[in-house]
Each structure stands twice: as structure tokens, then as C-alpha cells.
Amino acid sequence: MSRLALCLVIALFCPLLSASAKPNIVLIMSDDMGYSDIGCYGSEIATPNLDALANGGLKFTQFYNTARCCPTRASLLTGLSAHQAGVGHMVDAWSTKKGEAYAGDLSRRAVTIAEAMKGAGYATYMTGKWHVTGVTQPKTDADKYNWPRQRGFDRFYGTIHGAGSFFDPNTLVRDNTFISPFADPEYKPAEYYYTDAITDHAARFVTEHKVQHADQPFFLYVALTAAHWPMHAKEADIAKYKGKYDAGYDAIRAARLKKMVQLGLVDPAWQVSPQAGNWDEVDNKAWEARCMEVFAAMVDCMDQDIGHLVDALKKNGQYDNTLILFLQDNGGCAEGMGRGPKGTPRAAGPTLAPLAADYLQPDMIPKQTRDGYPMRQGKGVMPGGADTYIGYGQAWANVSNTPFREYKHWEHEGGISTPLIAHWPQGIKGRADSNLISTPTHLIDIMATCVDLGGGSYPTEYNGNQIQPMEGVSLAPIFRGEALERTQPLFWEHEGNRAIRMGDWKLVSKHPGGWELYNIPSDRTEMHDLAKDQPERVKEMSALWDAWSKRVGVLPWPLNGGEGKGKGKKNKKK
């Protein structure tokens, strides 16, 4: 063969070889879970499938989210700060009169990972929770401009709204069409449970992709709602944890802490943050323990379903060249959803008319179950069933966030710390020493990682809009065993809570308080404030935060006119 002919053959086949070498990417995110809630990060909850992925891949110990569901999703999807992505608070749409950063709707000056990956030749799929647009009840198809199919996903099964019943979810959509879970001709499980449905459809997309697009890589975003309130779980899963939490908060937290030290996740020299709640003073221990039993069951079921998705990848020959990433959207949730005055016992039988199979209930908190039982909330109402709507409370959230301070909403480590598991047999090789990665990293890095590994290019213009440069850096060097080079600090703001992480140092503030300074390697539990001892460092870091906040459009909290204060309280239930 002549040299010219050989060159032509190489030119013809190299693109195909390059395309086939691109990894599939499966991005899995859970909801309202703390740093220590999965087994490989310290939990007593059975998560063997996530543990196996972690043991065969990498465990990031200092990976960060943005402390709240909407901002995290907006930032994850775009590689920008949540403010740049248009979701500086939630999808409550205080509107652009407060600035583009608070539009409550995913910005058109941002591209999603799906849009970027399509440009790299990927098929794109999504299942689960969207929650980056306030348009959950569109009047026309044009109103769906910020739904998943309109933001780069080829297929979608999930909910547009942010929370709801696991047995009867609201705003359920297949592709672009609302669908009742009980009148769906394509999906008829023996018992409908949303976590199962999300992952069943993810596995289905993987399988059908193999048949229909075998030569094309895919990007799959699986946005689970477990273990966000309400505490809903299947009885078989709850039964596994009966009596598991009867010893109370301190005993479970101590066991987690011991395991975390053994796993190398926690420095035993750190002073542990105080436990919220006193088990000895709990007047209804059976109810309080049941809340955590159901939470554990939700996490357990989630892990089972992730195992089914992994099995689908293996069955279709896609496992070895698939990068699987697992993370959480914020820390444990201390919100008091449904934990008010004493609730009513379950009625002996249905007291309301049953709902038609094709009825898609519209409410985040349903008024009744599908078979006619009224919804119940309040202390003493044992959670788990479809007629209950309760959160697990601050004390258990404190256990979830072991050993850190604060919760969802706040920028202390308990609010923003998440596990990140990265598993990719063909791309991440085993480490001789440890698979723990302590490099500070952030969900803004996921976009950069996907674009890098997918061989794509991040656009400067998309659909006629100028696109903001992505903020993160690719994690690919870490996968190769190399150092990550980040030139800028990491920043946070939500509801006036602020933080900046620069090297070993973190400056953080809980609204309306002042700045606190911590050396993270020696005090990641943030128990020893050094702000008064190092005023020059505080001055330097706070100036950097001020410059960042101005650049991305952060406004003082509460927003002008008091709207932030009032609506912030309301939206703590989202």
C-alpha cells in the first residue's frame, strides 16, 4: 500500500476510532443527603453498589455543591455559578427586575452539558428532577422553552417541579408531554415508586441506545429525588431498618464518626461539631426513630436502583468505557416539613373519592392519595406511606452531615460538602496508595470534565446568544493521577450566606453574621474561628469574594423591598 493510500485510510478511520474511544458519561445526583449518608463515606445504611463503584474508582473527600437544590442543578448543568445561570436563589422568579442572576429560570447565556455534549457527537438523555425553571404549568408548547428537551436532551422522563410524593409525583413528563404515572402505556410497574421509575427509565435509555445508536457515545443525567422529603419508602425497604435507630442521634453519629476515621475521611484530631437534639428529651422516640428508618430505606432503595442501572451498562457492553459520577445536591435538610403539632391517625378506610388513573395531581403536597386517603402531617404520624408528608428533621440532618456544621441552605461544610464517586474502568486506574482524592473540587468542574473527555468545545455563542465562559476546570488530570491546576478560588452565596475557599483556607459567613476564618486541613469541622487572629487574610479573601459577587450579580440579602426575606421563608419548603 502506498504512503498516500495509507494516509487516506488513517484519515477515514481515525474519526471513527476517536468517536468510539469517547467515554459514555452517567451523572447521578441524589437529593438532600449528607456527607456521611452512604456506606463508603461512613454510613450504616446499606449501599453496596455505590460502595463497589467507590472501591473500584475514586472517592473525592473535598468536593462541593452550592447548598441548595435549584442553584446546584443550575450550576451543575452549566458549569457556571448559579447566579450566572439565572438561579441565584430558587425558581421563585423574583424576576429580572432584581437582576438577571435572580430570574429563577435557566439563563440563555449559558449552555447545558447536554447542549455542549451534543456538539461533541453525543446522544443525551435525562431522567428525574429538573427544577431549573419556574414554568411547571405551561399554557403552550412555547412556554416549555426551558424544559429538558429544549435544553439539549434527546429524551426525558421525570418531573419539572422540585419535590412531591414518591408514590404519585406531580408534573411528571415523558419527553415534552405530561403523563399520569397510572395511565402510562409504556411503564406499568406492580407498584409505582418514583426512585424506581427514574432508574428504570435510565436503564431503558441505556439499553435502547445500544440497539439504536451503538456507535455513538451517550451522556445520561440521572437526577434522583431520594432522599428529599417527604419520607416515603416501600415497606420491604423500611423493614430492613426496624429498630436500627432506637439508640438515638449520638450513638449513630459516634458510629459514623468512628467508621469515617477508619476510612481516612476524617482527621481524628478535628473537634466534632455539637449534636443537635437530645435523644433523652425526645418524647416520642418511636416516631423520631421511624423518620430515620424511612430515610435509610429511601437511600437503600436508591442504591439498589443504581445497581440495576450498572447491570444494564454491563449487559449492554457499555460498562468499561462509561464514566459514572455520583454526587449530592446539598447537605442534610434541617427543614421542619410536616413536623408540626400532633397529626391525626390513619383513617380505617378511604374518606375521599379516588382519583382517576389519568389524573396528574398538581400539588407538591397532595391533598389525598390516589385511593382516597387524606394527606397527614404532624408529630406522631408515622412516615413512609403515601398518605404522609414529613421530613426527618434537624437532629437527623446533623447525623447525616457528620462531622460537619450546619445544613442545606448554609455555606459551612455541612451545607456544601458532598461525596463524589468517579468510576471508569478504562479511564481511571487503581491507585497503589489510596483512592481518596483530597483536592478541593466543585460541581462547576463537571461541565469542564465532560467537555474535555468528550472531545468537544465549549461554545462562545449558542442559538444567537453570547455564552459566558465556564468557571470550572476539568477533573481529567486527577483521573490520570496528575495534579489539578486551578488558578481561582471557589466561591459560594445563597440567601446571604457566603464563602470562599482559597488553598487551605476558607472564609465563611452565616447571614447576617460576619466573616469566620478556618484552616480546613486542621479544622474542617469549623470549630476554631481564626478571623480575629488573621485580619489581613480576612481582608484579602473578603475582597476577592466581593469582586466575584459583583461579577456574577449577587445582590444583598434580603433582596430589595423585603421580598427576599418573605419569599425565602416560604421557599425553604422547596
Residue 432's pLDDT is 67
Residue 12 lies in a domain: no
Give the H or E element holding residue 292: helix 285-315
Residue 19 lies in a domain: no
Residue 20 lies in a domain: no
Strand-strand pairing, 58-64 and 441-442:
parallel
57 vs 423: CA distance, rounded Å: 4
Residue 538 lies in a domain: yes
**Contacts (Cβ under 8 Å, ≥6 apart) of 52:** none
What tens digit of pLDDT does each residue of 23-47 get? 999 999 999 999 999 999 999 999 9
What tens digit of pLDDT does each residue of 243-294 get? 999 999 999 999 999 999 999 999 999 999 999 999 999 999 999 999 999 9
Residue 70 DSSP code: H
Assess whether pLDDT exceeds 90 at residue 162.
Answer: yes
Report the CATH number at residue 363: 3.40.720.10
Residue 55 lies in a domain: yes
87 vs 507: CA distance, rounded Å: 23
Return the beta strands (E) in 34-166 as ranges: 58-64, 123-129, 155-159
Residue 269 lies in a domain: yes
406 vs 394: CA distance, rounded Å: 10
- Of 290, 288, 259, 256, nearest to 273 (Cα)? 256
What tens digit of pLDDT does each residue of 395-435 get? 999 999 999 999 999 999 999 999 999 999 999 977 767 89
The residue range of the domain holding 183 is: 30-571
DSSP string, 422-485: EE-TTT-PPPSS--EE-S-EETHHHHHHHHHHHT----SEETTEEPPPP----SHHHHTT----
State the amino acid at position 500 in one-letter form: I
What tens digit of pLDDT does each residue of 443-478 get? 999 999 999 999 999 999 999 999 999 999 999 999
Residue 1 lies in a domain: no
How many domains in the chain? Answer: 1
What tens digit of pLDDT does each residue of 340-354 get? 999 999 999 999 999
248 vs 31: CA distance, rounded Å: 23
Residue 463's pLDDT is 94
| Residues forming beta bridges with residue 517, ordered by sequence position | 507
